Amino acid sequence: MVLICRGIERDWLYDHRVAVYTAKSLGPANLIEWSKAVADSLDQWPEDADYFAIHDMSNSGMSMQLLLLTGNHILDPWLTPTSQQRFREWMKAHPAQRVRLAVVVSSALSGQMPMRRGRSSTSDLEQVESQMFDNLEAAHEWVSSLL
């Protein structure tokens, strides 16, 4: 596990084929740093592999914070409007690659609103597939079924 910035950690699964970001505290500044880390990972991603990530927001209050900070776009892989352009440029340059994102929210009351309100602005992008889960094991199963 590597600390990306205060409150955001990254781990790797399946021989560096899946990035797992875990939020333990979240605010505008570390959301920007997290977004940069995602974009940097994409820049270094192997040309012949789809990008897989899990955003673990299951710690208390994290899914609500992400919902608010992203304007309900909890299922977007780029996290901030500023990084959206960089992400779209990456997708244009890599048309054969797909992006698969699993977002894990708490199964408690704090995760119910993000589960209902969370949406993606990537609906026009065929390369992006995002799913929301209320437990980490289900997210792992989904990702492993696609590898």
What is the C-alpha separation between 10 and 73, in angstroms, rounded? 21
Q: Of the candidates 48, 52, 65, which has an alpha carbon nearest to the alpha carbon of residue 21?
A: 52
pTM (2 decimals)? 0.92
**DSSP structure class, residue 94:** -
Strands 99-105 and 51-57: parallel
Domains of the chain: 2-146 (3.30.750)
Alpha helices in 15-135 (DSSP H): 28-44, 62-69, 81-93, 109-117
Tens of pLDDT, residue by residue, the chain (147 residues): 999 999 999 999 999 999 999 999 999 999 999 999 999 999 899 999 999 999 999 998 899 899 899 988 888 998 998 888 888 899 899 999 999 999 999 887 566 766 777 666 665 578 999 999 999 999 999 999 999
What is the C-alpha separation between 132 and 1, in angstroms, rounded? 23
As a whole number of Å, the end-to-end CA separation of the chain is 21
